């Protein structure tokens, strides 16, 4: 008798219950299923976990690289079909899980230890809906099951507490960290919490903003987050260049409206992030079109296709086109973001789609940089 038994290798693993099915056969079938975004098969991406065989029933978990994966349903259907094609399999039970791919750049800095990815939401000028997009992206990612934080760093108009219906002040923990306030599934910290009253405009100079932002990031007990969304102050000047350098960023989302003046500012914002080598995840065109609630007719109020053309000319993806809609404005004022709505609507769907697109691009970026889910060895 050997003192210890060697764990069988995958290709000589015996059937678990005498049915003739082996783990190796299931893995072989699953190695034909590709992740459409990562362009690799699920087995080599180490996404398949916990295979169990019981008679003609096969159970396993697919661990995606983001809970907001836009291809979730397709991947599940492809896995189901591939395993059902194995001789002897009758029932396939798949658990869809996620282990968000980490931006290794952040791990290298001790600034945000539990945060896997940071997303800056920026715009060339104010009033284009940057904060609205930041809130709804954060809420949409949380709706998809991600752990999400939101830092409202817009010193010129910190409006996010109102948009998330938060009017209390954060508490301070025993180790003197500020505790973010949770609303709509998102952990919020706002520079507005420092303002003596809501009408006070923040008149800070560049260096103060820079250090305040760093303090806000590091003095907040964010805990473990898949995504930290940062609502940046609008602008493209030198002060913003410094500001973008004060935060380790996985990528930037630029918000614009379709008018030519706004698009020009969006171009400047892209140039700004390029200077700091921050990857641009893409453009979100807000107030893109209007659908009349009574007739359902679509109106391109400003002009059509401006955001798409700008994204193409800048060589960045168009992440989404958000309609101009009263419920978005009303939801913002009432602290109920459109993405938190339980019923589907064009505006909710537009935010959800944009958030999934952002999550996908971050996964692809992290996986191609050699990061990935934390793989537990069996
Ligand atoms: P910014 O952060 O760029 O200054 P905000 O997000 O604060 O802009 O938005 C400015 C105003 O426009 C807010 O009242 C907001 O509710 C409204 N708004 C933003 N996006 C939309 C939209 N798609 N439809 C309707 N109102 C919107």
pLDDT above 60: residue 53: yes
pLDDT category, 201, cuts 50, 70, 90?
low
- Are residues 35 and 121 part of one domain? no
Q: Please state the atom number of ligand 1 nearest to the C-alpha of residue 163.
A: 16
Domain-located, residue 376: no
Q: What is the pLDDT of residue 268?
A: 92
Q: How far apart are CA 42 and CA 31, in angstroms?
A: 6
Contact (Cβ atoms closer than 8 angstroms) between residue 10 and residue 51: no
Average pLDDT over residues 91-96: 97
User: Minimal CA–CA distance to 317: which of 370, 362, 347, 276?
Assistant: 362
Q: What is the pLDDT of residue 242?
A: 76
pTM: 0.90
- Are residues 80 and 110 part of one domain? no
- Are residues 210 and 86 part of one domain? no
Domain-located, residue 9: no
- Are residues 113 and 90 part of one domain? no
Q: What is the pLDDT of residue 377?
A: 35
- Which among 132, 151, 285 is the best mutation to test ligand 1's pocket, defined by most ligand atoms within 8 Å of the CB? 132
Q: What is the pLDDT of residue 6?
A: 35
Cα–ligand 1 centroid distance for 230 (angstroms): 17
Report the chain's mean pLDDT, rounded to a whole number: 87
- Are residues 345 and 234 part of one domain? yes
**Minimum CA distance residue for ligand 1 atom 22:** 324
- Are residues 298 and 153 part of one domain? yes
Residue 362: CATH number of its domain: 3.40.50.300
- Are residues 108 and 51 part of one domain? no
Q: What is the pLDDT of residues 311-328, one digit of tens each?
A: 999 999 999 999 999 999
Q: Please state the atom number of ligand 1 nearest to the C-alpha of residue 327.
A: 25
**Minimum CA distance residue for ligand 1 atom 23:** 324
- Residues with a CB atom less than 6 Å from ligand 1: 123, 126-132, 157, 159, 234, 286-287, 322, 324-325, 328-329, 332
- Are residues 111 and 87 part of one domain? no
Q: How far apart are CA 159 and CA 376, in angstroms?
A: 41
Beta strands in the chain (DSSP E): 34-35, 40-41, 48-54, 57-64, 91-98, 118-122, 148-152, 181-183, 186-190, 227-231, 251-256, 280-285, 290-291, 298-299, 318-321
pLDDT category, 34, cuts 50, 70, 90?
very high
Q: What is the pLDDT of residues 163-181, one digit of tens each?
A: 999 988 899 999 889 999 9
Share of the chain above pLDDT 90, in %: 62
Cα 129 to its chain centre, rounded Å, is 18
């Amino acid at each position: 008798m050997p003192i210890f038994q060697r764990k069988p290798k995958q290709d000589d693993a015996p059937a678990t219950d005498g049915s003739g099915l082996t783990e190796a056969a299931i893995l072989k079938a699953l190695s034909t299923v590709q992740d459409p975004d990562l362009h690799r098969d699920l087995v080599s991406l180490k996404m398949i976990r916990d295979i169990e065989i019981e008679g003609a029933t096969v159970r396993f978990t697919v661990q995606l690289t983001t809970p907001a994966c836009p291809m979730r349903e397709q991947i599940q259907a492809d896995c189901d079909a591939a395993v059902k094609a194995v001789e002897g399999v009758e029932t396939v039970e798949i658990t869809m899980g996620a282990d968000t791919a980490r931006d290794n750049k952040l791990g290298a800095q001790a600034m945000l230890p539990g945060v896997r990815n940071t997303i800056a939401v920026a715009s060339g000028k104010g009033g284009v809906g940057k904060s609205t997009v930041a809130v709804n992206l954060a809420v949409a990612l949380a709706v998809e099951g991600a752990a999400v934080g939101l830092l409202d760093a817009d010193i010129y108009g910190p409006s996010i507490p109102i948009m998330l219906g938060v009017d209390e002040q954060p508490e301070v923990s025993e180790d003197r960290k500020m505790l973010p306030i949770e609303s709509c599934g998102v952990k919020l910290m706002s520079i507005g919490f420092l303002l003596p009253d809501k009408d006070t405009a923040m008149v800070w100079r560049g260096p103060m903003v820079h250090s305040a932002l760093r303090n806000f990031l590091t003095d907040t007990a964010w805990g473990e987050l898949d995504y930290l969304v940062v609502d940046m102050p609008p602008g493209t000047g030198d002060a913003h260049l410094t500001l973008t350098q004060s935060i380790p960023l996985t990528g930037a989302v630029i918000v614009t409206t379709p008018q030519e003046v706004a698009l020009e500012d969006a171009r400047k914002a892209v140039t700004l992030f390029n200077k700091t080598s921050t990857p641009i995840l893409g453009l979100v065109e807000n107030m893109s079109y209007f659908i009349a609630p009574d007739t359902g007719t679509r109106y391109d109020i400003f002009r059509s296709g401006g955001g798409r053309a700008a994204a193409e000319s800048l060589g960045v993806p168009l992440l989404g086109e958000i309609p101009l809609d009263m419920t978005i404005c009303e939801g913002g004022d009432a602290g109920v973001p459109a993405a938190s709505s339980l019923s589907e609507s064009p505006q909710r769907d537009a935010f959800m789609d944009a958030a999934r697109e952002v999550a996908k691009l971050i996964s692809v970026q992290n996986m191609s940089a050699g990061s990935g889910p934390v793989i537990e060895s069996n």
